[in-house]
Chain A
Amino acid sequence: MTPSELSVDVHGTRVRVLCAGSGAPLVYLHGLLGEFTWLPLFESLSREYKLYIPESPGFAETEGLERIESIHDLAFHYADLLDCLELERPHLAGLSVGGWIAAELAVHYPGRVSKLVLIDALGLKLPGVFLPDVFAANPRETRALLFRDPNSELALSLLSDSPSPDMLTRMLAYRQALARVAWNPYLHDPRLKERLYRVKTPTLILWGDSDRLVSSEHGRLYADNIAGARMAIVENSGHLPSLEQPHQTAEHISKFLRNS
């Protein structure tokens, strides 16, 4: 399926949105690498759902980072985007930083999310656990942090040791966009855990079994703090199951959205 690319004006910020399929609307928020391309996962999901994949401010070609100063600004930004797309109550899924934003959005606007899927979501921190530094990591170390197989074609295609000018720009952009909201407190919102009780929608927590950035213990923390949340593990995957294990990820998501 070939997605169409929309350009949506969200209060002065031009946002690119990939859109494909038909069925109940499902909004998917990309992860920390700003992987804004048509992935095999989307191919599967778009068979059952009308899929919307927006690009976050500051990542690659989407502007507006100057208006983003905290994770809450991103939650408000995405609530505005839902308004612009006239999506009253879509399913919401997010990977990594996208999962964190989805959780914050569901906390701020519990009524705007039909069902929630958090995949290796940032946003929570286990006390005393020192999270590896994704900002200080060079491309090789970043691949090792994010991928179960750091030398796979997939990992190298996103994070090369000698990036082309375009890839370099994308890498600089994702670091900057993530740091804007996740430098300190590092990759988390200290108030999020105590606010998760506000999430009233059926929730699936999906986690890569080999996430070396945020371990599945963090997923467990989400599951324990959202009433009725279910947790499932994606086998043979690091921090980005949507990319590393698209079929498993798609199956988990479809099953959950159909049956919950």
Chain B
Amino acid sequence: MKFYFFHLMPWPDLPDDFDDKSKHPSAWVTLSNKFYDAEKGHLLYNRYLDELEYAEKLGFDGACVNEHHQNAYGTMPSPNIVAATLVRRTKRMKIAMVGNGLPLRDHPLRVAEEVAMLDVISGGRIISGFVRGIGDEYYSMGVNPTFSQERFKEAHDLIIQAWTKPGPFEFEGKHYRVRYVNVWPRPLQKPHPPIWIPGFGSKETVEWCADPSRKYAYLAVFMPDHLVKWFFDAYREAAAGFGYEPSPYQMGHLFPIYVAKTDREAFEQAGEHALWLYHKGLRHKWEMLFPPGYTSISSMRRITGFAHELNWEAMDAKELDKHGYCLLGSVETVRERLAEYVRKLNFGLLLPLLHFGDMPHDRTIKNMELFATEVMPFLKREFKSMEDKWSRAA
């Protein structure tokens, strides 16, 4: 198994009346940036970067950063900038950008260039995630969501070709046309950095990842247990359809984890932060989370059908934990629950979100240390055969 410490860099200082949903219907798009204080932001960014760098000392296989726009949930509009600060301060661990929001960016070659630069500077330690960006960001960035799917696929194709095909060559797409594609530098890893695709809700994406020409890792993000299973099953089914057995390293799970001495302590210390994430940071307006055409009408009908199950805003910390939206517990509880999860679902990538919501620095560090010293080695031993059988293939 491999462990990648995930950070969202949230903005914790929400207005006092944020619980009033009629005043603050969302932490995205319309929440005024007058609530952002750059003086505090300076301290916060540097604190968060310290936490990310510390992951290497603790033995994590890597650290993950991502891209979100104009919200309090995560203050990393550019994962590449955060990655750039990390590559020179770390020596061993991988830096995963999960990922660049391709349709939201005006030019895919800009992504191809920046990721290639990072890969070369870091000595081949980059994992390049690609995302469509979440629905709200189509409002924030003005990009037409009805073209999201095709822009994503076309930008992806252009980037992969730019990394793998000797230039200059002409790219003739519908959304992107370049007569001289000739990216300098080219990435250090061959044929290109590994690609991870975080997803939520679309079976088509899973099938696209599983295609033998790609074999990209699919990451389940903040999903309840049964949905994680549904997506991993769909991945294996798609791979079987293509005639191969996927490696566990083609499947990953990202969710908040907090480890303490006892279960009770874990809830006392981290319950409120989990609630911050699910009740505040993830507060969306439904129509903004799902802009028109972002998801196919048939998928939307399916999502609307199980929307009541995704009603995390109505759950307390116990319920969030019970459904698998987070995992809070003692070393034993966390070990057991994760081991059972991995045995059942056979995934190789775990991306624990060990800082979440408004968790203070000292708690974050304690959580990271307990996870790294008590949980991670246990799971690595427990699933050693996975490493032996698959890590080369992955």
Which residues of A pack against B, CB within 8 Å? 133, 135-138, 165, 168-169, 172-173, 175-176, 178-180, 183-184
A136→B285 contact, CB < 8 A: yes
Contact with A along B13-51 (1 / 0, CB 8 A): 000000000000000010000000000000000000000
B288→A180 contact, CB < 8 A: no
A136→B287 contact, CB < 8 A: yes
Q: Which 3 A-B pairs have the closest CB atoms?
A: A179-B292, A175-B292, A183-B144
Q: Say yes or no: A136-B288 contact (C-beta < 8 A), given A179-B146, A180-B293, A184-B143.
A: yes
Query: Could you say which residues of chain A place their CB within 8 Å of the CB of B293?
Result: 175-176, 179-180
Query: Could you say which residues of chain B place their CB within 8 Å of the CB of A168?
Result: 301, 304
* B200 located at the interface, meaning its Cβ lies under 8 Å from any Cβ of chain A in the complex: no
In whole angstroms, how far apart are the Cα atoms of A136 and B145 in the complex?
Answer: 12
Minimal Cβ-Cβ distance residue in A for B174: A69
A138→B144 contact, CB < 8 A: no
Closest CB in chain B relative to A108 CB, distance in Å: 22
Selected from B144, B146, B288, B301, the residue in CB contact (under 8 A) with A169 is B301
* B142 located at the interface, meaning its Cβ lies under 8 Å from any Cβ of chain A in the complex: yes
Contact with A along B269-288 (1 / 0, CB 8 A): 00000000000000001111
B287→A183 contact, CB < 8 A: no
* B139 located at the interface, meaning its Cβ lies under 8 Å from any Cβ of chain A in the complex: yes
B146→A136 contact, CB < 8 A: no
* B314 located at the interface, meaning its Cβ lies under 8 Å from any Cβ of chain A in the complex: no
* B297 located at the interface, meaning its Cβ lies under 8 Å from any Cβ of chain A in the complex: yes
Closest CB in chain B relative to A164 CB, distance in Å: 11
* B291 located at the interface, meaning its Cβ lies under 8 Å from any Cβ of chain A in the complex: yes
In whole angstroms, how far apart are the Cα atoms of A136 and B142 in the complex?
Answer: 13
Query: Could you say which residues of chain B place their CB within 8 Å of the CB of A165?
Result: 301
Number of A-B contacts (CB under 8 A): 50
Would you give 12 A-B contacts (Cβ < 8 Å), ordered by A?
Answer: A136-B288, A137-B287, A138-B285, A168-B304, A172-B297, A172-B300, A176-B292, A178-B292, A180-B144, A180-B146, A183-B292, A184-B143
In residues 225-246 of chain B, which contact A (Cβ within 8 Å)? Answer: none
Closest CB in chain A relative to B358 CB, distance in Å: 27
Closest CB in chain B relative to A228 CB, distance in Å: 36
B301→A135 contact, CB < 8 A: no
Closest CB in chain A relative to B154 CB, distance in Å: 14
B297→A169 contact, CB < 8 A: yes
Interface range, B side? 10 to 19
In whole angstroms, how far apart are the Cα atoms of A143 and B393 in the complex?
Answer: 55
Query: Could you say which residues of chain A place their CB within 8 Å of the CB of B285?
Result: 136, 138
In whole angstroms, how far apart are the Cα atoms of A169 and B293 in the complex?
Answer: 12
In whole angstroms, how far apart are the Cα atoms of A135 and B144 in the complex?
Answer: 11
Query: Could you say which residues of chain B place their CB within 8 Å of the CB of A169?
Result: 297, 301
In whole angstroms, how far apart are the Cα atoms of A184 and B292 in the complex?
Answer: 13
In whole angstroms, how far apart are the Cα atoms of A184 and B291 in the complex?
Answer: 13
A184→B142 contact, CB < 8 A: yes
Minimal Cβ-Cβ distance residue in A for B291: A135
In whole angstroms, how far apart are the Cα atoms of A59 and B288 in the complex?
Answer: 21
Q: Say yes or no: A183-B146 contact (C-beta < 8 A), given A138-B286, A176-B292, A176-B293.
A: yes
Which residues of B pack against A, CB within 8 Å? 29, 138-139, 142-146, 285-288, 291-293, 297, 300-301, 304
Query: Could you say which residues of chain B place their CB within 8 Å of the CB of A180?
Result: 144, 146, 293
B286→A183 contact, CB < 8 A: no
Minimal Cβ-Cβ distance residue in A for B30: A136
Query: Could you say which residues of chain A place their CB within 8 Å of the CB of B29?
Result: 136
Q: Say yes or no: A135-B297 contact (C-beta < 8 A), given A179-B292, A180-B144, A180-B146.
A: no
Query: Could you say which residues of chain B place their CB within 8 Å of the CB of A172?
Result: 292, 297, 300-301
B145→A183 contact, CB < 8 A: yes
Closest CB in chain A relative to B176 CB, distance in Å: 15
Apart from A138-B286, A168-B304, A180-B146, list 13 A-B contacts with CB within 8 A. Answer: A133-B139, A135-B139, A135-B287, A138-B285, A172-B297, A173-B297, A175-B292, A178-B292, A179-B293, A183-B138, A183-B145, A184-B142, A184-B143
In whole angstroms, how far apart are the Cα atoms of A175 and B293 in the complex?
Answer: 8
A138→B287 contact, CB < 8 A: yes
A136→B139 contact, CB < 8 A: yes
Minimal Cβ-Cβ distance residue in B for A163: B304
Minimal Cβ-Cβ distance residue in B for A133: B139
Closest CB in chain B relative to A174 CB, distance in Å: 9
In whole angstroms, how far apart are the Cα atoms of A176 and B286 in the complex?
Answer: 15
Query: Could you say which residues of chain B place their CB within 8 Å of the CB of A138?
Result: 285-287
Query: Could you say which residues of chain A place their CB within 8 Å of the CB of B144?
Result: 179-180, 183-184
Closest CB in chain B relative to A177 CB, distance in Å: 8
B287→A176 contact, CB < 8 A: no
In whole angstroms, how far apart are the Cα atoms of A135 and B287 in the complex?
Answer: 7
In whole angstroms, how far apart are the Cα atoms of A122 and B286 in the complex?
Answer: 25
Query: Could you say which residues of chain B place their CB within 8 Å of the CB of A183?
Result: 138, 142, 144-146, 292
Query: Could you say which residues of chain B place their CB within 8 Å of the CB of A137?
Result: 287
Query: Could you say which residues of chain B place their CB within 8 Å of the CB of A175?
Result: 292-293
In whole angstroms, how far apart are the Cα atoms of A173 and B292 in the complex?
Answer: 8
Minimal Cβ-Cβ distance residue in A for B139: A136
In whole angstroms, how far apart are the Cα atoms of A172 and B302 in the complex?
Answer: 12
In whole angstroms, how far apart are the Cα atoms of A224 and B199 in the complex?
Answer: 50
In whole angstroms, how far apart are the Cα atoms of A183 and B143 in the complex?
Answer: 8
Q: Say yes or no: A179-B291 contact (C-beta < 8 A), given A136-B139, A184-B144.
A: yes
In whole angstroms, how far apart are the Cα atoms of A246 and B287 in the complex?
Answer: 30
Closest CB in chain B relative to A259 CB, distance in Å: 41
Find the residue from B287, B292, B297 having the highest chain A CB count within 10 A.
B292
Closest CB in chain B relative to A225 CB, distance in Å: 26
In whole angstroms, how far apart are the Cα atoms of A136 and B287 in the complex?
Answer: 5
Query: Could you say which residues of chain B place their CB within 8 Å of the CB of A179?
Result: 144-146, 291-293
